[in-house]
Amino acid sequence: MKNRIPQLDSIRGLASLSVFLHHIYLATPILPIIFWQSPLRIFINGRGAVLLFFVLSGLVLSLPFFNGKPIPYFTFLIKRVFRIYIPYVISIFVAIAACSFFSTDIKFDNSWPDGFWKVNPNINSILEHMNLVGNIHTEYFNTVIWSLIHEMRISLVFPFILIVVSRLNLLSNLMLCISLSLIAGLNDIIGFQHQNGFNTSYFDSLHYLSVFVIGALLSKHKKDITIVYKKISTKTKWTLLGGSLFMYTYSAAIYSFLDIPFNDKVADYGITLAAAAIIVVSINSVKLANLLTNKPIMFLGKISFSLYLYHMTVLLSSYNILYDAV
């Protein structure tokens, strides 16, 4: 498995599009029944898309390590800063400018956009956003940054986590994941730390770290996974893909109806394991690889980060400018 896998860029692009469509869905009251109660739900599964991002990050960031070419820690950090923090800062200042020029006092009939751009930019809110690893009020300017907060926090410790993952067997690593999520779940009950934004507590990062570890396990066991995949029948491969797409789409809905402890965390594991299986099929299936590497989808992969970073700024600007006109 090479460090650069074109299919994974395409998957990231499709996931970014899914987040964009998810936010359009939330802002458009007429759409919920049409999408949420049908298989079309997969196209607006923003929660699943972000977990897919995290699995992909865990996989891609761990490939050099498990390929025997680990990146020195400070080199790794510098690369992550240029990959995440610099584009993030630029996008935040664009969002701040848009908020300053376009935000209004309009009430959007208690719809989802009402929760954003309600604070005028000031020195405190701007400085808060300069600390990407902080407990940021994500609703102030650009709510999608919550996932980048976890990406940056986890980047600080991930090289050390990989050492642990490399020394533990599969079962022990899975128990590590569950333990991290249980600690995060305790914060939901006891409230050790309040989250200022959407899922921005440090305990939330522990839970999402477990998703990164699942991605790292795909890298660690890549050879065994490939051998097993090639041995199974075509029917089993289709069943794996179909079942994974189903769980990716409906895990959150299924577990929301179950009265079990930490049902949101359990749902995330359903989505995460499904995302991992989708990635495995995408890498090993020639047909799916050909589909994912066609030009339109590859282009979507190239613009995925920009699409993710800027779509909310465009949506909120459009809402504020056009709301009275429609």
Q: What is the mean pLDDT of residues 36-51?
A: 89
Q: What is the mean pLDDT of residues 8-26?
A: 94
124-182 tens-digit pLDDT: 999 999 999 999 999 999 999 999 999 999 999 999 999 999 999 999 999 999 999 99
Residue 272 pLDDT exceeds 90: yes
Q: Report the pLDDT value the prediction gives residue 160, as an integer from 0 to 100.
A: 98
Q: Report the pLDDT value the prediction gives residue 31, as an integer from 0 to 100.
A: 64
Other CB atoms within a 10 A radius of the CB of residue 109 amount to 9
Q: How far, in Å, are 78, 100, 162, 196, 223 from residue 70 at the CA level?
A: 14, 44, 10, 35, 18
Per the CB < 8 A criterion, the answer to whether 213 and 177 are in contact is yes
Q: What is the mean pLDDT of residues 250-273?
A: 86
Q: Report the pLDDT value the prediction gives residue 26, as an integer from 0 to 100.
A: 86
Q: Report the pLDDT value the prediction gives residue 256, as an integer from 0 to 100.
A: 73
pTM of the full predicted structure? 0.94
201-231 tens-digit pLDDT: 999 999 999 999 999 999 999 999 999 999 9
Using a pLDDT cut of 90, give the percent of the chain over it. Answer: 77
Q: How confident is the model at residue 107 (pLDDT cuts 50, 70, 90)?
A: low
d(CA 87, CA 94): 11
Q: How confident is the model at residue 2 (pLDDT cuts 50, 70, 90)?
A: low
- For tokens 């089993």, the residue is 236
Q: Which has more confidence, 312 or 189?
A: 312
d(CA 65, CA 36): 40
Other CB atoms within a 10 A radius of the CB of residue 94 amount to 16
Q: How confident is the model at residue 261 (pLDDT cuts 50, 70, 90)?
A: confident
Residue 291 pLDDT exceeds 60: yes
Q: Report the pLDDT value the prediction gives residue 38, as an integer from 0 to 100.
A: 79
Q: Report the pLDDT value the prediction gives residue 29, as an integer from 0 to 100.
A: 66
Residue 105 pLDDT exceeds 80: no
What mean pLDDT value characterizes the chain?
Answer: 92
Chain centroid to CA 32: how far? 22
On the 0-12 / 13-18 / 19+ scale of CB atoms within 10 A, 286 is exposed
What is the residue-wise DSSP string for 265-307?
HHHHHHHHHHHHHHHHHHHH-HHHHHHHTSHHHHHHHHTHHHH
Residue 1 pLDDT exceeds 60: no
Q: Please state the domain extents for the chain.
A: 6-317
Q: What is the mean pLDDT of residues 29-58?
A: 86
d(CA 313, CA 306): 11
